[in-house]
Amino acid sequence: MDTEKWKREYPFFNTIWKLYDQFDKTVSNEGDVLYETICLSIIEDTNENKRKHIDICMKLMRNLWSLSNAKYSNMLNSEHCTNLNIWLYNEIKKHSIPEKTVEDIFEATNPITRTLSNYYECAYYHFNKDIEPENLLKLLNFEANINIIKSILENKGNTHYCQCKNYVYECVNIFRTLNSRFCPSGNANNENICSKLRTFQSSYSISLYDKPEINANIPSLANPDNETLIDCSLKEQVISSQDPKGESVSSNMPFNVQAFVGIMGGLFPLLLILYKYKTLRPKLLSIIKNRRIDNNLGEEEIPELPLYKSQKDLIISDEVSYNMTYIPAENV
């Protein structure tokens, strides 16, 4: 699991990434003596990464304490605990922390947190014992933060709508694959993973698919077909393909969306012909060049339009909303 990659691909979980940053903060002086004393007794002297493991041990103890000390009032304890375990999994993988060490940290922390009035026992999730741990981790992240997903899907005008919807499709496909592989009807050999999949299925249905305002725009868990994201506009797709600095990954050339939509609307029939008969391409190019002034496009910009980037794909414009989708040329 690469949390930095997740941050880039799923920016709509911004509040969760901020929480991860809180988890990762260095322990301040207020608790470092107690935490360090306990962690020194847990981390073996022979460990070549001893100092780093002690730092992570202290952070984990501090985070478990904060959970029971009502430091995070904007999230349910169960959701907070799940996010803490996901953060911890990444630290374990990144720094090769032994499973036994992590278990000892949780065991040593419990007697301390039990003294708090708002004590909540956050159990350690043994991801390393799971089949397909990183795929299950993604489904667990989905469940823990399903309210964020729900709020975005309820508003198509949200700037992260398409990115969020892509994430939903990704998780649904993970569920379908794991469910068909490990949990066929009557198979009780993988109860651990199957119980997690049932939990995901229940959360998905109750929080999203059973909501009339959402279910028309998301896939069914039972449907084996891969639906297409036909309601994501060209503008949203362009935003989704940008890097964190807001610069287009595919091209540095400015792109006039309104002008392009105008061209596409007027030349739709010619586009169909173009992709069936390549010999007419020069004529279409000539027509587009003659219209460049009306559409505020310079001649040098025309070859950069997505129309010429692939002979395999055809862009079609919806006359009402101008939402864009891609259809293979052989289906035209």
Domain extent for 239: 234-331
Q: 116 and 151 share a domain? A: no
Which of the listed residues 70, 97, 129 is the one where a domain comes to its end? Answer: 129
Q: 10 and 103 share a domain? A: yes
Q: 161 and 247 share a domain? A: no
Which of the listed residues 81, 100, 129 is the one where a domain comes to its end? Answer: 129
Q: 256 and 284 share a domain? A: yes
Q: How far apart are CA 295 and CA 15, in angstroms?
A: 41
The tokens for 135 are: 């795929």
Number of compact structural domains in the chain: 3
Q: 88 and 8 share a domain? A: yes
The answer to whether position 202 is within a domain reads yes
- State the pTM of this model: 0.65
Q: 120 and 87 share a domain? A: yes
Q: How far apart are CA 169 and CA 34, in angstroms?
A: 45
The answer to whether position 33 is within a domain reads yes
Q: 121 and 23 share a domain? A: yes
Q: 22 and 48 share a domain? A: yes
Total residue length of the chain: 332
Q: How far apart are CA 189 and CA 183, in angstroms?
A: 8
Q: Along the 332 residues of the chain, how does pLDDT read in single tens digits?
A: 678 888 899 999 999 999 999 999 998 766 678 888 999 999 877 667 888 999 999 999 999 998 887 666 678 888 999 999 999 999 999 999 999 999 999 999 998 888 888 888 999 998 877 788 889 999 999 999 999 999 999 998 999 999 999 999 999 999 999 999 998 876 667 888 899 999 999 999 999 998 988 988 899 898 665 455 555 654 444 444 554 444 433 333 344 444 444 444 544 443 444 444 444 455 545 544 554 444 454 444 434 333 333 333 433 333 333 343 443 444 44
- In order, the DSSP letters of 238-287 are HHHTB-TTS-BSS--S---HHHHHHHHHHSHHHHHHHHH-GGGHHHHHHH
Q: 158 and 262 share a domain? A: no
Q: 115 and 160 share a domain? A: no
Which of the listed residues 215, 245, 269 is the one where a domain comes to its end? Answer: 215
pLDDT of the residue at 109: 93
Q: How far apart are CA 44 and CA 297, in angstroms?
A: 67
pLDDT of the residue at 269: 44
The answer to whether position 140 is within a domain reads no
Rounded to 5°, the CA angle 225-231-232 comes to 110
